[in-house]
Amino acid sequence: IKYTVKQMDVVEQNTKGSGRRAERYYQIVSLPPRDMSKENVLIIGGKNVVELFIAWVYGFKWENIVGIDLFSLHPKIKIMDMEKMSFEDKTFDNVTMANVYGYQLDPEKCIAEISRILRPGGKLCFNSVWSEDSVLPVYNIRVNEMIAIFKKHNFEIIYHTYKNTPPDVSHMWSLQKMNMSELSLDPIL
């Protein structure tokens, strides 16, 4: 099934109808296998309660699942911007963004904010798209630029894969938040 998405009559993009599947994000974030009921998760851009249910199916306790979006169709999804979240520092063990990375305006600000709210050792799983023809600036950021942003904000890449389907390249990322405060360097070096 193909359809055309229009956003504010400016951006038009052909897409396929089954691309918003979130299961793979929870499959990845739950590796290595562990008791997910002891961890919490922030779902950025969940839009409706379905993605929250998917997180629950993958082992998160219902009370440990939080969703945010620019609009809400369920009381468990808070209205909040991913570039300026009202959560305390080091609040979450996991953050997922299923097909919403392209909606932010400033990639570095978004990653910095996620780094702020993730605990050391916490995981972020999301996808990004690179498209040479896109009018959206976030889709023009190359992999090396993304990696530089991740390193600047203390993330380690633990999984990366991509699909090269012209005209776009879709990347799946899983990152772990490193605790740089525990890093000590020998002053002699």
Residue 20 — pLDDT band, cuts 50, 70, 90?
low
Question: What amino acid is encoded at 147 in this protein?
Answer: I
Mean pLDDT value across residues 115-131: 94
Exposure string of 103-134, with b = 16+ CB inside 10 Å and e = fewer, is bbeebbebbebbbebbbeebbbbbbbbbbeeb
Asked whether residue 9 carries a pLDDT value surpassing 70, the answer given is no
The pLDDT score that the predictor gives to residue 45 is: 92
Residue 180 — pLDDT band, cuts 50, 70, 90?
low
What is the rounded distance in angstroms from the CA atom of residue 52 to the CA atom of residue 68?
Answer: 11
The pLDDT score that the predictor gives to residue 15 is: 39
Q: What is the dihedral of CA 3, 6, 12, 14, to 10 degrees?
A: -20
CA distances from 65 to 32, 102, 111, 158, 180 (A): 19, 23, 20, 23, 27
> Does the model's pTM come out above 0.85?
no
Average pLDDT, the chain: 84
Nearest to 108 by CA among 67, 151, 65: 151
What is the rounded distance in angstroms from the CA atom of residue 184 to the CA atom of residue 55?
Answer: 36
69-115, pLDDT tens digit by residue?
Answer: 998 989 999 999 999 999 999 999 999 999 888 888 888 999 999 99
3-state class (DSSP) for residue 58: coil
Asked whether residue 59 carries a pLDDT value surpassing 80, the answer given is yes
138-158, pLDDT tens digit by residue?
Answer: 888 889 999 999 999 999 999
